[in-house]
Amino acid sequence: MKKGDFGGYIYFDVSEDLSDFTTLSIEFYRPSGSVVTKTGTLGTENKGTNLINEYMQYQVEQGFLNESGLWKARLIAISATQQRKSDKVSFVIPE
């Protein structure tokens, strides 16, 4: 994906079954430093090495990828008994 694209998905492999978690969100850190939190959804089918229920995805909305450069993301999964936060991962959105 590149700056201005929308409709596609960004996938995050967590290599662990997330099906018991009821709230999934993704904190996106834009190159400018602003942080935007979006609702993530659970993977519903195997995608290459990403197994069903073991990845989180976000369908990119129009206007979301409004900056090119180095982005970061942190995944948050919450269940009735626990909350988990991933380390930040980096990815590049080209112009």
And the tokens for 33?
Answer: 């430093």
Please write the tens of the pLDDT for every residue from 29-65.
Answer: 999 999 999 999 998 888 888 888 999 999 999 999 9
Strand order in the sheet with 55-59: 9-13, 55-59, 41-42
Nearest to 3 by CA among 92, 93, 70: 93
Judge whether 76 and 25 are in contact, CB under 8 Å. Answer: yes
Please write the tens of the pLDDT for every residue from 11-29.
Answer: 999 988 999 999 999 999 9
Phi, psi of 39 (to 5 degrees): -75, 130
- The domain segmentation of the chain, as residue ranges, is 9-87
Phi, psi of 69 (to 5 degrees): 125, -160
